[in-house]
Amino acid sequence: MDKVEYKNKKVEFEESAVPKISIDGKPTQVSHDAEANRFNAGELPYRSFKSVKDLAEAIVEQRLQHEQEGET
């Protein structure tokens, strides 16, 4: 697992066809579209990404956005 810090979140990810992402120590559900060679996550409907790292950062961005907006 590669480790980076992104916007004060500890992000761990594995760039492979069996992708893994963990944010602040908690894993999140991700998958690989083998035909498209792109990655997606259960919490980002209707989006896909070229790399697991890009996906992980997008998840962090979305979580921060929701925290800020307090969306209901």
Partner 1 sequence: MRIRKNAAFLTDDEWARYCNAVVTLKHTFPGGSSVSIYDQFVAIHVCVWGLRFSTSGPAAGVDGAHGEPGFLPWHREYLRRYEAALTAVDPTVSLPYWNWGFGSDGETDDLFQDDRIGPRGGIVTSGYFAEAATAHNPLGWTIHPDLRRFGSALRRTGAASVGSLPSQAAVIEALEKAMFSTFRPALEGGTGLAPGNNGMHNGVHPWVGGDMGAMSSPNDPIFFMHHAQIDRIWAIWQRKHPGVANYNDNNISVGQGHGPNDNMWPWDAGLSAPGALPPAFPFPSADPAVAAALIPTEAAIDLVTPEDVLETEALGYIYGD
Residues at the site binding partner 1, with contacts judged by CB under 8 A: 26, 28-29, 31, 33-36, 38, 40, 42-43, 45-48, 59, 62-63, 66, 71-72
Spatial separation of the C-alpha atoms in residues 3 and 12, rounded to whole Å: 5
- Judge contact between 60 and 23, C-beta under 8 A: yes
Min dist CB 63 to partner 1, Å, is 4
Amino acid at 36: A
Residue identified by tokens 């919490």 is: 43
Which tokens is 34 given? 């083998």
Instruction: For residue 7, give the nearest of 67, 52, 72, 71 by alpha carbon.
Output: 67
Which of residues 53 and 60 has its CB atom nearest to partner 1 in the complex? 60
Which of residues 2 and 33 has its CB atom nearest to partner 1 in the complex? 33
Which of residues 1 and 65 has its CB atom nearest to partner 1 in the complex? 65
Min dist CB 43 to partner 1, Å, is 6
